Amino acid sequence: MKRDQVLAWLAENVPAARIQHILGVEQMSGELARHHHLNVEKARNAGLMHDLAKCFKPKKLLQMARSRGIEVDPVSEANPHLLHADVSAIVAQEQFGIQDQEVLQAIAFHTLGYPGMSKLSCVVFLADTLEPGRGDIPDLQALRLLSKQDLYQAIWLSCDYSLKLLLESRCLVHPRGILTRNWALQMSTQKAQSAKHPQSIARG
């Protein structure tokens, strides 16, 4: 993948304000990957391509998802925008020849997450919510600090933050967002318990 090719494609298909967000996610994905000793290039590539389908019309999102075998559940059918992450992964593969499954999954999972997702996917998921362009309110500042300390706790609390906004605005909540939140909470809890009792965990 050549970065300039992706940027040229984005310039033709995505508004300038959205490109600023994309570049913020690209940068933060790389920073978090470096901090957590992950592959920085993969993280930046996924961040750069995470919103390729962001501005596709609902009909196109539904058509592309169905034609490629992506499940369209009732919540996604009512709000096709939720499919843009999965469809962005399709565009990354078909338009830019991306074959790396870890990168494609990080793109596909960046909106709703996925229980058991890789740490690379975790990084891009967090960067999408927390990149500097999202604002500077105290909640986001705290989550940015946390994302460098504990990926799973940061995901759990980022999900809580997003769910609160969805509930307040009376939007539909996708079940996968809840599953991701519960998974991250369990992972964070297990990590905290193993840190407290390393010998009993090792013996068990």
Average pLDDT, the chain: 94
- Note the pLDDT tens digit of each residue in 101-119: 999 999 999 999 999 999 9
Q: Is pLDDT at 75 greater than 70 in this prediction?
A: yes
CA 96 to chain centre: 19
> Could you tell me the pTM of the whole model?
0.93
Q: Is pLDDT at 201 greater than 60 in this prediction?
A: no
- pLDDT band (50, 70, 90) for residue 204: very low
Q: Is pLDDT at 55 greater than 90 in this prediction?
A: yes
Q: Do 25 and 128 meet the contact criterion of CB atoms below 8 Å apart?
A: yes
Question: What residues contact residue 55 under an 8 Å CB cut-off, 6+ apart?
Answer: 13, 14, 15, 18
- Note the pLDDT tens digit of each residue in 138-195: 999 999 999 999 999 999 999 999 999 999 999 999 999 999 999 999 999 998 888 7
The pLDDT of residue 202 is: 46
Q: Do 39 and 33 meet the contact criterion of CB atoms below 8 Å apart?
A: yes
Q: How many helices (H) and strands (E) does the chain have?
A: 12, 0
Cα distance between residue 33 and residue 127, in whole Å:
10
Q: Is pLDDT at 200 greater than 80 in this prediction?
A: no
The pLDDT of residue 203 is: 42
Q: Is pLDDT at 64 greater than 90 in this prediction?
A: yes
Please give the CATH architecture assigned to the domain spanning 3-197. Orthogonal Bundle (1.10)
